[in-house]
Structure 1
Amino acid sequence: MSRWVLHVDLDQFVAAVELLRHPDLRGRPVVVGGDGDPAKRGVVSTASYEARAYGVHSGLPLRTAARRCPDAVFLPVDRDAYEAASSRVMATLREFDAVVEVAGWDEAFLAVDGDPEETARLVQRRVRETADLDCTVGIGRNKLQAKLATGFGKPAGVFRLTDETWFEVLGDRPTDALWGVGAKTARRLAAMGAGTVAELADADPRVLAERFGPATGPWLVRLAHGRDASPVVGTPYVPRSRSRETTFQHDLDDWDEVRSEVARLARRVADDVAAERRAATRVVVKVRYAPFVTRTHGHALPAPATGAPEIEEAALAALDRFAERRPVRLLGVRAEFPER
C-alpha cells in the first residue's frame, strides 16, 4: 500500500487553456461561458484569477459578471480544446511510477511512495513542460487529506495535510470546508452544535446516525477526523452521466413548449448514451425559472436503457413532477449511469 496520496489540480484550467491560445490576454480579467456574449443569457464556466477578484465565479450569470467586471474579456466555451489539454496532462501523469486515478478534466489522484514533496514538484515541472499549464498539488495520507490540501496550496503550490496537522489547519473551519459536506448539511450540523470541523469530530456518531442515517452519521464523524479509506484506483475514468442543457434568450411561458424542449434534449442525451455504449438507469430534469431559481427532479428507468423512447419518457415523467408552471429560462436533461 502506498504511503502518500497526491491530488493534482490544474489551476484555473479552462481560463488557462484559453490564455495559451490568447497570450495577449494574460494579466487581464477573462471570463469563459456560453457563446462569449455577456449580453446574452448564460453562465460563467470559469474565470481567471483577475476576474475572480471582482467576485466573478463559476455559475454566475454572464450579465452579472459583466456588471461586476465591465473590463473583462468574455470568451466562448470550447470543450474540444479543454479535452485535448486534459488528455495531455493525464498522459503525463501516467508516466510516473504511481497509480493514477483521473477525477475529471482538471484533477487526478496519484498514489506514490518516496518523498511526496519531491514527486509533487516533479509533477508540476512535467505538466508545465508538456502542457504549459500550472497545477497545485495537495499531499495527504488519503484522498480526503490530499484533496483538501490542494485548496491551501493554490495557486501553483504544494501543501501537505496529515493527521498531525489536520485540526491545526481545519479544526476551526466550518464543516462545509470538508469534501462532501454541502451548505445544507453544514446548517443542520451547526443547529446541533457541530458548526466546526473540531466540533463535528467530537460529536457522538450515534446521535448523528439518528439525524442523518446509520451510514451517513458515522461517516461525517470520520470525515471530521480526516479519515478516508477509499483507495486510489487506476481504472480508466468514465463519466457518471451524460447531459445536455440550453439557456433561452427569452423565457418560455408556454409549458407545452417546455415539454417539447425537454423531449428534444432527452433525444440528444439518448444519442450520447448510445455512443457511450452504457445503459442509463435514471434521468434528471433541471429547470431554471426566471429570474434564477433552479430545481431538479429525477425519474428512475424501470430497466437500464439506451434508447431514445425510454429516456424521453423518463425525462417527461420527471418534468411532470414540477408543480410550478412559471416562466423558464433554462432546461437540462441528464442521464445517469449505474456505479461500476
Structure 2
Amino acid sequence: MASPHTPTLPERLIAHLDMDAFYASVELLRYPELKGLPVVVGGRRMHEPKTLPDGSRQYARLRDYTGRGVITTSTYAARDLGVFSGMGLMKAALRAPDAILLPTDFDRYRHFSRLFKAAVAEIAPVIEDRGIDEIYIDLSEVPGVRESVGHDPQGGVRAVAREIKNAVQRATGLTCSIGVTPNKLLSKIASELDKPDGLTLLRADEIPSRIWPLAVRKINGIGPKANAKLESLGIETVGELAAADPQMLIAQFGRSYGHWLHEAAHGRDERPVVTHSEPVSISRETTFERDLHAKLDRAELGAIFTRLCEQLAGDLARKGYLGRTIGIKLRFVGFRTVTRDLTLDLPTQDAQTIRQAAGACLKRVDLSQRLRLLGVRVGSLSRPGDPAPARRPTRRVDSGPKPENLSLF
C-alpha cells in the first residue's frame, strides 16, 4: 500500500551518476599500491611503470616530464595539491613534482565504461549517455523508487540509488557518486556535493539552503567567460544570480542565455533524459610533444597522420557509421588553428579513403610554420544500408593557399 508520504516526491526523479576520478581509479585497480597517493594520468607510453627484478614497480614522476601534454585526470590526493584535469603536465610538475605519472589507456577505460553502464541498465534502463564516465538516469518509474521507508518518503529513492552504486562497484570494483533531484541540471550539481562515493538527494525546497550558497561556476553551462562577466557584475554565488534582475541578465548576456541563467539559478530545467542521439561527427587528434615541421619532420608527421586516419576508420567501424565529409584540424605555433574539409560523393569508413581525402585537404594549407596539433574528422555520418545520397561534385570548404616548395606528409 502506498504511504501517505509518497505524493511528496516530485513527478520526475532524475539521477546523475559520475564515476569517481574514473581514469585514475581504473589505473589504481591495476596498481593498487598507489592507492591514496598523488597520481596523474596523462603521460604517453614511455611513462609506463617498469617492473624491477625483485617484482616491484618503478614509476615515472611528474618532475621528470618534458613536453606539452595535459592531465587527463588525477587522483583526489593529487587534486589536494592543486593538480587537476586539463592542466599542462609541466605546470602541474611545479605544484606536485613527486606525483606519479601514468600513461592513458583509453581502450581499458572504454571497457570499464561499458561495464558500469550495463550494470546500471539492469536496474534502471532509461539512461542518457553523457560520455565515458557519466550518465543521467530517469528513476521516475523504477520499481520501488516511490516506496516510503518508515517515515522517510525518499527511502525508496535512496534504496534504489544505493542498489545502483553497489551494482557499479560489483561490476567494476570502482565507486561512483550519484545526485538525485527533479531535473538534470540540479542532479549534475548534486552529484558533486559529496564526492567521492557520494549519494545526494535534493528536493526543490532545498535549493535556497544547498544550491544558492555555491559559486555560479558550479552550474553546468556557466563557463570561464560567463563566470568572469558575472563576477564583474558582482554576482559570485548562485543565490546572487537568482536574485539578479532577469532583464539585466538578458541585457548583459542576450535573450536566450540571460533567460537560461535566471532559470538555472532557480533550479528549473525541463530537459528530458534522452536515451539515444546520433553524433554529428567523429574525430581523432593529437598534440605533439614538440613542434613539428611539414618538411623537416615529414616522416614522423606522415606516420602520425596515417595512424589518426586508421584510428578514425576503426572508430567508425566499431560504432557502425560511414561518413562523407572528411576534415583536418591544424594548430600552429602561436595557437593559430586552421580547418579544412571536403565532401566525398559517397560515405566511407575506409582508412585509405579517409587518408587520401584528408591529404587533399592538407594541400590547401600553408604548412610553412611548425605544428603543435594535428586532427582528422569525419562528418555527415550515416549508417550502412541507409539510402545512398545523391551524387554531386566534391564540395571544398574554406579553401586556402596551396603551399609552395613544401613536402606534404
Would you call these one fold, judging by a TM-score over 0.5?
yes
Aligned to 1:58, the other structure's residue is in SS state coil
The yes-or-no answer on 1:117 pairing with 2:158 is yes
Aligned counterparts of 1:122 and 1:137: Cα–Cα separation in 2: 11
The yes-or-no answer on 1:155 pairing with 2:196 is yes
Q: Match of 2:208, as an amino acid?
A: F
> How far 1:49 moved relative to its partner?
1.2
> How far 1:280 moved relative to its partner?
6.3
Alignment correspondent of 2:331: 287
Aligned to 1:95, the other structure's residue is in SS state helix
Aligned to 2:86, the other structure's residue is in SS state coil
Change (3 A) 1:314 1:130: same
> How far 1:294 moved relative to its partner?
4.8
Counterpart among 187, 209, 223 of residue 168 in structure 1:
209
- Asked if the contact 1:283–1:334 (Cα under 8 Å) also holds between the matched residues in 2, the reply is yes
Q: Match of 2:65, as an amino acid?
A: A
> How far 1:94 moved relative to its partner?
0.5
> How far 1:98 moved relative to its partner?
4.2
- Asked if the contact 2:13–2:180 (Cα under 8 Å) also holds between the matched residues in 1, the reply is yes
Change (3 A) 1:158 1:88: same
The yes-or-no answer on 1:271 pairing with 2:334 is no
Alignment of 1:23-172 (within 5 A): 23-35=32-44, 37=47, 38-41=64-67, 42-113=69-140, 114=145, 115-172=156-213
Change (3 A) 1:9 1:286: farther
Aligned to 2:90, the other structure's residue is in SS state helix
Q: What do residues 259-294 of structure 1 show as CA deviations (whole Å, max 9, x unaligned)? A: x779768745763575352436685736264xxx75
Larger CA deviation: 201-210 vs 172-181: 201-210
> How far 1:71 moved relative to its partner?
2.5
> How far 1:81 moved relative to its partner?
0.9
Aligned counterparts of 2:214 and 2:330: Cα–Cα separation in 1: 32
Q: What do residues 32-81 of structure 1 show as CA deviations (whole Å, max 9, x unaligned)? A: 11315353422211111122222221122223333432322221111111
> How far 1:326 moved relative to its partner?
6.6
- Asked if the contact 1:288–1:331 (Cα under 8 Å) also holds between the matched residues in 2, the reply is no
Aligned counterparts of 1:209 and 1:255: Cα–Cα separation in 2: 51
Q: Match of 1:329, as an amino acid?
A: R
Identity among equivalent pairs (%): 35
> How far 1:337 moved relative to its partner?
6.0
- Asked if the contact 2:181–2:203 (Cα under 8 Å) also holds between the matched residues in 1, the reply is yes
Alignment correspondent of 1:16: 25
- Asked if the contact 1:139–1:160 (Cα under 8 Å) also holds between the matched residues in 2, the reply is yes
> How far 1:25 moved relative to its partner?
1.7
Aligned counterparts of 1:337 and 1:285: Cα–Cα separation in 2: 17
- Asked if the contact 1:2–1:112 (Cα under 8 Å) also holds between the matched residues in 2, the reply is no
- Asked if the contact 1:243–1:269 (Cα under 8 Å) also holds between the matched residues in 2, the reply is no
Aligned counterparts of 1:314 and 1:143: Cα–Cα separation in 2: 40
Larger CA deviation: 109-118 vs 14-23: 109-118
Alignment correspondent of 1:329: 372
Alignment correspondent of 1:226: 267
Alignment of 1:240-279 (within 5 A): 240-252=280-292, 267-268=309-310, 271=313, 274-275=316-317, 276=319, 277-279=321-323
Alignment correspondent of 2:59: none
Change (3 A) 1:57 1:123: same
> How far 1:160 moved relative to its partner?
2.1
Cα RMSD for the two superposed structures? 3.6
Q: What do residues 142-167 of structure 1 show as CA deviations (whole Å, max 9, x unaligned)? A: 11111110110201011123321223
- Asked if the contact 2:283–2:312 (Cα under 8 Å) also holds between the matched residues in 1, the reply is no
Change (3 A) 1:233 1:77: same
Aligned to 1:56, the other structure's residue is in SS state coil
Q: What do residues 311-340 of structure 1 show as CA deviations (whole Å, max 9, x unaligned)? A: 5556776x67x9xx875433344455679x
TM-score, normalising length from structure 1?
A: 0.81
Change (3 A) 1:75 1:312: same
Q: Match of 2:42, as an amino acid?
A: G
Larger CA deviation: 11-20 vs 205-214: 205-214
Counterpart among 199, 214, 218 of residue 177 in structure 1:
218
Larger CA deviation: 156-165 vs 135-144: 156-165
Aligned counterparts of 1:85 and 1:224: Cα–Cα separation in 2: 34
Larger radius of gyration: 2
Aligned to 2:14, the other structure's residue is in SS state strand
- Asked if the contact 1:286–1:333 (Cα under 8 Å) also holds between the matched residues in 2, the reply is no
Gaps of 5+ in 2: 1-9, 48-63, 146-155, 383-409
Aligned to 2:258, the other structure's residue is in SS state helix
Q: What do residues 128-180 of structure 1 show as CA deviations (whole Å, max 9, x unaligned)? A: 11211101011110111111101102010111233212232232433222111
Aligned to 1:229, the other structure's residue is in SS state coil
Counterpart among 11, 15, 21 of residue 6 in structure 1:
15
Q: What do residues 80-118 of structure 1 show as CA deviations (whole Å, max 9, x unaligned)? A: 111111111011000014411221111111111322211
